[in-house]
Amino acid sequence: MRVGDNIASIGKISAFALLFGLCAAKQVLADDDVIPPVVEVPAGWFWQGSDAVERQYAYQIDEQVYGHDLSRRNRWYDIEGDKWRVHLLDFNIGKTPVTNEQYAAFIKDTGHDAPEMTKDEWNRQGLIYNYDTIQPFLWSNGTYPKGRGNHPVVLVSWQDAEAYVQWLSQKTGKEWSLPDELHWEKAVRGSEGTFYPWGNIFEPDQLNSGDRGPFDTTPVGQFEAGPFGLYDGAGQVFEWTATSAQAGYRIVKGGSWDDRGCGVCRPAARHARPEHLKHILIGFRVMSRD
């Protein structure tokens, strides 16, 4: 065999090895347990935001449950955009929030910091929950809590969620991102502008909230799916979005397992959290336009 033939052969072997390596890398993420499954949201119009009737309803159910008018006095729901019709192109969005098991693949592949915190780190955030409260959610040595693989991952900052979607894009060859507020809201509430994914009346058996417990995250997908087949859009955990509220803050949406009422669990409800915050009430889901 001539030298040129040897070089050509080596080139073919190298090309094959490279191709095999890329395929092997993608095979790591070929399992539905690792790649978040998505639902397709078709192109079309939807009602985004809320009107005075919806906000009044949200304040009233909060007052009924909590026995005070704190949300009304602080005008929590007055920051919601006025209801308007918006047209969006089709897109795909995570069927559920990203789970501990799915997030673990990212941690293992990149060495990114797992959702582990010391007592001092937790206390510095200034939240009302004490360190003992977060023990069930803490990872240990890069491993999620036993029996919680299919629970939503929490104790992740907006930066952590951004790092995850960037990694997912690189590993799959698709463009993933966090959903912005508009896409998130359409996916969760549907096209008709109802107060909740299921209609205009709060029903505590339709979501994981503080109204019926268990006052903890639950396995994803346990409640009835929303209009486009998406699960856990109301309750369970708040979700980071790509939408900026002000410098260093991002909009979170959806309400959580600790909320009652549940005015804040409406898809139109919104509030901002610091991008660096790691909270037991906040997770995220992914979005793709591919």
Amino acid 1: pLDDT: 40
- pLDDT at residue 154 is higher than 70: yes
Of 48-57, 62-71, 103-112, the poorest mean pLDDT is in: 62-71
CB contact burial 190-215 (16+ within 10 A = b; e otherwise):
beebbbbbbeeebebebbbbbbeeee
- pLDDT at residue 33 is higher than 80: no
Amino acid 29: pLDDT: 54
Task: Kindly report, residue by residue over 208-254, the tens digit of the pLDDT.
Answer: 999 999 999 999 999 999 999 999 999 999 999 999 999 999 999 99
Amino acid 4: pLDDT: 41
Amino acid 144: pLDDT: 98
At 32, the pLDDT band (50, 70, 90 cuts) reads low
Is beta strand 282-283 parallel, antiparallel or unpaired with respect to 238-246?
parallel
At 34, the pLDDT band (50, 70, 90 cuts) reads confident
Which residues have a Cβ under 8 Å from the Cβ of 29 and sit 6 or more positions away? 35, 105, 168, 171, 172
Amino acid 281: pLDDT: 98
Task: Kindly report, residue by residue over 161-179, the tens digit of the pLDDT.
Answer: 999 999 999 999 999 999 9
- pLDDT at residue 259 is higher than 50: yes
Average pLDDT of the residues in 138-167: 98
Amino acid 16: pLDDT: 36
Looking at beta carbons, which pairs linking 194-197 to residues 24 or more positions away fall under 8 Å? 195/50, 195/54, 195/57, 195/58, 195/266, 195/268, 196/234, 196/265, 196/266, 196/267, 197/226, 197/227, 197/230, 197/233, 197/234, 197/267
Helix (H, G, I), strand (E, B), or coil: what is residue 91?
Answer: strand
- pLDDT at residue 88 is higher than 70: yes
Which residues have a Cβ under 8 Å from the Cβ of 126 and sit 6 or more positions away? none
At 25, the pLDDT band (50, 70, 90 cuts) reads very low
Q: Taking a C-beta distance cutoff of 8 angstroms, is the pair 233, 97 a contact? A: no
Average pLDDT of the residues in 104-110: 97
Amino acid 31: pLDDT: 57
- pLDDT at residue 23 is higher than 80: no
**What are the phi and psi torsion angles at 166 (to 5°)?**
-65, -40
Average pLDDT of the chain, as a whole number: 90
Q: pTM of the prediction? A: 0.88
